[in-house]
Structure 1
Amino acid sequence: MANYLISKKQRLILQSQNVHQKMNLVASPIKVKELAGANPSSRFTGANIRRRLASRLNRSEQLILDFEGVETISETFADECFSKLGKAVGYAVIEGRTELRNASPYVKSIIISAMDSHGVIGYNSARTSYSRLRIARNRYNLSRMRSSK
């Protein structure tokens, strides 16, 4: 009965407010270590996480991936999770609504490399990300060598 008492203009305003509230949803962080362990490496695990991320992106939520405690990820995991997600929803959507927390430069470079190798990001940034990947790997290997001595 209340719908009949408000005007068409007021109804449109209420609908637009609901849409804006849905567009600004901020989800709780997804903790990668709890879902995939300290060193995620399988395509199966990447596919499971990709499905979770895609469902949140489809609901217009802001994604927060927390990599706390994750030392490294495999290229197959990054390919299955991030490259296929990028192909499905587009790189602009991922870049605009995704935040990587506590991710080491090495983990970030693996993700960038996987997305570049499948054409999600584009050719122009491929050389830059390859250089980042090489630099991050060298730093990671040096830090491991120093800590083992």
Structure 2
Amino acid sequence: MTQIIAFNSFSNNLGTRVLGQEIRMQIESILDSKDFVIFDFEGVEFVSHSFSDECFGKLLLKLPFEELKSKSTFINASDLVKKTIALAINDRLKASLAY
């Protein structure tokens, strides 16, 4: 089964760690149920690095990057949103290699 998280239902500007954590908990629940998740960023203009780290970067503390990639996809994200999320994920990947 596939589930869609419409990020614009939260706001068109996503900036806080608190919101990132709230959404990450939903994502973890979906991934635990073995469903595929689509991250839909239609209408979202901005995401902060701290939101991206909390929402997506910390997912890597629970599952490997390749597994996350195989269980999810991003749609309708602007270049700025994509770059911010990719930076947060890359920072987490680098940090995990440092251990």
> Does residue 108 of the first structure (1) align with residue 67 of the second (2)?
no
2:34 corresponds to which letter in structure 1?
Answer: S
How many pairs does the alignment contain? Answer: 97
Higher share of residues assigned strand:
2
> Does residue 30 of the first structure (1) align with residue 8 of the second (2)?
no
Alpha carbons 2:21, 2:55 under 8 Å: kept:
yes
Query: Percent identity among equivalent residues?
Result: 31
Distance in structure 2 (CA, Å) of the matches to 1:56 and 1:98:
10
Alpha carbons 2:60, 2:92 under 8 Å: kept:
no
Indicate the residue corresponding to 1:84 in structure 2. 58
TM-score calculated relative to the size of structure 1: 0.61
Bigger Cα Rg = 1
**RMSD of the alignment, in Å?**
1.7
Distance in structure 2 (CA, Å) of the matches to 1:66 and 1:77:
15
* Change in 2 beyond 3 A, CA 1:120/1:94: farther
Structure 1: 5+ residue runs without aligned partners? 1-24, 124-149
1:75 to 40, 49, 69: 49
Q: CA deviation at 1:122?
A: 7.6
Alpha carbons 1:91, 1:120 under 8 Å: kept:
no
Quick one: higher RCO (CA 8 Å, sep 6+), 1 or 2?
2
Distance in structure 2 (CA, Å) of the matches to 1:65 and 1:118:
19
Q: CA deviation at 1:62?
A: 0.5
Higher share of residues assigned helix:
1
TM-score calculated relative to the size of structure 2: 0.90
